[in-house]
Amino acid sequence: MGLCLNIYPFGLLPFRILGDNGYWISNSGMKNSPYQNIRLSLINSLLMLVLFLNTSCIAANSDLVSQEEDRINKINRVIMCPVCPGESIDQSQNEIASNMRAIVKDLVRQGKTEDEIKDYFIGKYGPVILLEPSTEGISLYVWVVPPIALSFAMIIVALAVALMRKRQKNSSLNMNHDLADEVISDEEKEKYFAVINRISNE
């Protein structure tokens, strides 16, 4: 991958910006150390990788399909196939799903909006037909509970952290107390190290 560096205009960029260890480059004489080169080529490869990804995504995105088709696909993905539970009509291979896809296509060509098309299917099958719950009535709770759960989780974490901090403060006080009683005298230490030295010499 290092060889590609020269081709890529951005590949040279980080040479100037980043030095070893993530510090800004300095003339500390470390410039020529081998690991620095490794680090730099790593960052280069990484950036190139990202650029590759970007170009691939964009290549894929640049109006390969008409906007109309995009809209049709988008609608197909939120309407459920009535006979194959859990699958969208976009996903399902069932005949009914392919008929429904044709209906969506027709309606979009007639200039109907997404909401109108959804309403059309709701009128025919009821609200079950939508894969995404609406934000009205009881289905509002589907949407409300996750943020509540999130805040709840954050409160729990905060409480737990506070509790554990408090305990640590208390226990470290106690610990100091305990340790004070068990301080080893210098004489004992010397004896101990002498033994260790002897073992390691043997």
Partner 1 sequence: MVELGQIALILSFMMATYSTVVGFAGGMLNGRDLAASARWGFYSICPLLMLATASLIYAFVTNDFSVKYVAENSNIAMPKIYAWVAFYSGNAGSLLYIAVAFSLMAGITIRILNSKLPYTSPYALGVMSMVLLFFLAVILFLANPLDRHQIALEDGQGMNPLLIHFGMFIHPPFQMLGLISVALPFSIAIGALLAGRGGRDEWVDQGRLWGMVSWLLLTTGLLLGAWWAYTILGWGGYWAWDPVENSALMPWLAMTAFVHSIMVQKRRGMFRMWNMVLIIVAFAMAQMGMFINRGGPVPSVHSFAESTMGWVFLAVMAVTLFISLVIFIFRFDTLKSRSGLDSIISRESAFLAQNMLFLLIAFITLWGTIFPILSEAVDETTMTIGQPFFNKVNGPLMLLLVFLMGIGPVLPWRKAGWGSINRMLRLPLIVSCLVFLLSLISGIREYWVLISFAICSVSLVTVFQELIRGSRSRHSHGESWGRAFFSLIGANRPRYGGYVVHLSIIMLALGITASSFYDVQKDVVMRPGDSEVLGKYTFKYLEVSEKSYPDRVEEIAKFEVWSGNKNIGYMYPYRAFYPEFQIAATKGAIHSTILEDFYLVPSEFKEDGQAVFRVLVNPLVSWMWAAGPVLILGTLIALSPKNRTQRKRLQLPNVNVDQNPLRISE
Site for partner 1 in 44-103 (CB under 8 A): 46-47, 50-61, 64-65, 69, 73, 77-78, 80, 84-88, 90-93, 98, 101
CB of 197 to partner 1, least distance (A): 10
CB of 15 to partner 1, least distance (A): 13
Beta bridge partners of 130: 79
Binding-site size for partner 1 (CB under 8 A) equals 84
Stretch that binds partner 1, among 111-119, 179-187, 194-202 (CB under 8 A): 194-202
Cβ neighbors of 39 (< 8 A, separation 6 or more) are 20, 21
Q: Both tokens of residue 27?
A: 């003339």
Angle between helices 67-78 and 114-125 (to 10 degrees): 30
Q: Both tokens of residue 184?
A: 């080893």
CB of 193 to partner 1, least distance (A): 11
How many CB atoms are closer than 10 A to CB 42? 13
CA-CA-CA-CA torsion for 57, 62, 68, 70, nearest 10 degrees? Answer: 0
23 lines the binding site for partner 1 (CB under 8 A): yes
179 lines the binding site for partner 1 (CB under 8 A): no
CB of 183 to partner 1, least distance (A): 21
**Contact yes or no for 77/90 (Cβ under 8 A):** yes
Answer for which of 25, 114, 120, 139 binds partner 1 (CB under 8 A) is 139
* Positions 152 through 171 that interact with partner 1 (CB under 8 A): 153-154, 156-157, 160-161, 164-171
Query: DSSP letter string over 67-87?
Result: HHHHHHHHHHHHBB-TTSTT-
173 lines the binding site for partner 1 (CB under 8 A): no
